[in-house]
Structure 1
Amino acid sequence: MRLRKPKLVLIDLDGTLVDSVPDLAYCVDEMMKALGRAPWGEETVRGWVGNGVDRLVMRALTNTLWDDPEDDEFEAAHPIFMKLYAENTSGRSCLYAGVVEGIDYLKGEGLKVGCVTNKAAAFTVPLLKAMGIYEKFDIVVSGDTTPKKKPDPMPLLHAANQLGVKAENCLMVGDSMHDVEAARNAGFQVVCVPYGYNHGVDIREAGPDAVIDSLAELKNLLK
């Protein structure tokens, strides 16, 4: 399948550009230990990542995807996690294969490229810089840049408006159903990778326009 060639490509961070689970899992487990509870391990935490750190902390406390812990329980755990993650944002994380090649292709074609994530800017910018790709983006929209996060279309439309590109000329690249929903609501084309954080559900079920095994395959999709 070929897509309309966009003028702006927005790319999700966690699970699309960067495998950040090793750092997140370390912080979850150290938080649990600090609370006097058993750690979960990286494999379990991998199934919880994808909806921001607040929800990740809730999942660690409840061992469910969407149940909320008691307020006092969350209030005790949250600052512990935030301190740990501020100190351990990128040391164990890594770029997925094909990321640099894919971004460099887009830039070489004269396209504008942005990163749109639900991760707070305090973590987003250091992570992108540590991975050596921060300077490649024309815009970075973090989870606290706009009043609403994905799956709301606001962050995507904010990026498009800031760069002066109409929605029909934009493409979202992500790994989760929230990326697909946000793109659809914004009027973007949407492509997904199958290796990210979608809680064990095949991303094809969300109905993206295409699924590619790595960002390096964008050059074949957009020709």
Structure 2
Amino acid sequence: MNTLGAASSGVRSVRAVLFDLDGTLLDTAADISVALNRALAEQGLPELAPAVVRVLIGGGVPALIGRTLARLGAGAAAVDAEALLDRFTFHYGCINRHEEMQTRAYPGVAEGLAQLHALGLKLAVVTNKPRQATIELLTRLGLARPIRAVVGGDSVAHRKPHAEGLLRACEELRVGPREALMVGDSLTDVLAARAAGLSVICVPYGYNEGADPRSLPCDAFVESVADLPPLLIASGIVALA
């Protein structure tokens, strides 16, 4: 089993775990693709294949829109990025409030969150997605109960990879950075954790802007969130409740 050494990571004991959302807890790519293509169609622009959109995900909606326009090149030069962002947000909100939603939790997420909660750990989500949209998704998928804090991209002045969101979550949970760790799927998450002084664990199945998540310079990997509780126990940085 992978272990997370207390001495090497700077963690003495873990009291809180912070999670990224898209690509870590939830597979949102299908709904993001549908919403983006609806917004593009309204602008008279060609649709992008879901596999292409998946590579563009990361860093929040403004980054997604910027990468989309860059991908489309000269044909999208006259498009108002803010208008496209607004229409994407509208369509994505409609999808998330109706039965057509395809977003699902990754295997092991519900079990892992429940096990971490049972160990007495405080849990938070730190995402570049808007806070209210995040809460609605977690609630609809039955994952909200063990989550004590949600910090969205609109909750702070600086989004990940800046440290502000992670430090805000630690403050809301009343733990220090050395008492928390971050779980994510991208370089954005790793950089944010390093900047905030947190250890970081990565999952191998996320987006990471198309790059292999296993190449990330994190402290450890888990195949699923369900593997996180035994990793922490085996590493000796969290005690059995």
Taking the aligned partners of 2:209 and 2:37, their CA distance within structure 1 comes to 19
1:200-219 deviation line (CA, Å, top 9, x unaligned): 22223331000111001112
Taking the aligned partners of 1:29 and 1:194, their CA distance within structure 2 comes to 27
Quote the residue 1:2 is aligned against. Answer: 3
Quote the residue 2:87 is aligned against. Answer: 80
Taking the aligned partners of 2:161 and 2:72, their CA distance within structure 1 comes to 20
1:111-140 deviation line (CA, Å, top 9, x unaligned): 101111010123212111111111220111
Corresponding letter in the other structure for 1:145: S
Corresponding letter in the other structure for 1:8: A
Q: Which of 49, 57, 75 is the equivalent residue of 1:49? A: 57
Corresponding letter in the other structure for 1:118: N
Q: Which runs of 5+ in 1 are unaligned?
A: none
Q: Spell out the pairing of 1:19-58 with structure 2 (5 A cutoff).
A: 19-58=27-66
**Which SS does the other structure have where 2:56 is aligned?**
coil
Equivalent pairs counted in the alignment come to 221
- Are 2:161 and 2:189, in contact at CA under 8 Å, matched by a contact in 1? yes
Structure 1 residue 49, shift from structure 2 partner = 0.6
Q: 1:79 to 1:200 in 2, by over 3 A?
A: closer
Structure 1 residue 167, shift from structure 2 partner = 1.0
Taking the aligned partners of 1:48 and 1:94, their CA distance within structure 2 comes to 19
Q: Which of 196, 204, 209 is the equivalent residue of 1:194? A: 204
* 1:99 and 2:106 matched: no
Taking the aligned partners of 1:112 and 1:77, their CA distance within structure 2 comes to 37
Quote the residue 1:113 is aligned against. Answer: 123
1:155-193 deviation line (CA, Å, top 9, x unaligned): 111111122111111110000001111111111111000
Taking the aligned partners of 1:218 and 1:178, their CA distance within structure 2 comes to 20
Q: Greater shift after overlay, 10-19 or 119-128?
A: 119-128
**Which SS does the other structure have where 2:165 is aligned?**
helix
Q: 1:74 to 1:92 in 2, by over 3 A?
A: same
Give TM-score scaled by structure 2 length: 0.86
**Which SS does the other structure have where 2:200 is aligned?**
strand
**What CA RMSD, in Å, does the superposition of the two structures yield over aligned residues?**
1.9
Quote the residue 2:21 is aligned against. Answer: 13
* 1:136 and 2:123 matched: no
- Are 2:128 and 2:152, in contact at CA under 8 Å, matched by a contact in 1? yes
Q: Which runs of 5+ in 2 are unaligned?
A: 7-12, 234-241
**Which SS does the other structure have where 1:135 is aligned?**
coil
